[in-house]
Amino acid sequence: MIITDTESADLDTPTGLMRTYLFRPMAEGRYPGLVLFSEIFQVTGPIRRTAAMLASHGFVVAVPEIYHELEPAGTVLAYDEAGAERGNRHKVTKTLSSYDGDARAALDCLRSSPHRRRWKRRSKM
């Protein structure tokens, strides 16, 4: 499936704007949504490839920059000792409630997407 991976949105969170990259099938339609959180290096090539692969299987994928309050938008930490030290420091500096707020913002972004399919709840029998 052909995808588009050039969309991004700066989402409001309790700790400031969070750049979020959107990957989705190019074909018109509504698709299930996923939030893909990166490892400590942020939105790296491997994370983008994973998001693209999921989108090619028919998902709208939101990939937020998890350290938006600690790094400028668009920052990717290097896969080296310095990048690992910085990412590991950020992951414990950032509060748990900030991660929760980021997740809510990413889910709200997907909920409002015209490309995301709404799931129907089934009642238990």
Every domain of the chain and the residues it spans: 3-112
User: Quick check: 14 pLDDT over 80?
Assistant: yes
Q: What is the C-alpha to C-alpha distance for residues 15 and 22, in angstroms, rounded to an integer?
A: 21
Bridge partners (DSSP) listed for residue 22? 7, 62
Confidence (pTM): 0.89
- Give the confidence band of 113 by pLDDT, cuts at 50, 70, 90: confident
Tell me the pLDDT tens digit for each residue of 35-77. Answer: 999 999 999 999 999 999 999 999 999 999 999 999 999 999 9
CATH T-level fold of 3-112: Rossmann fold (3.40.50)
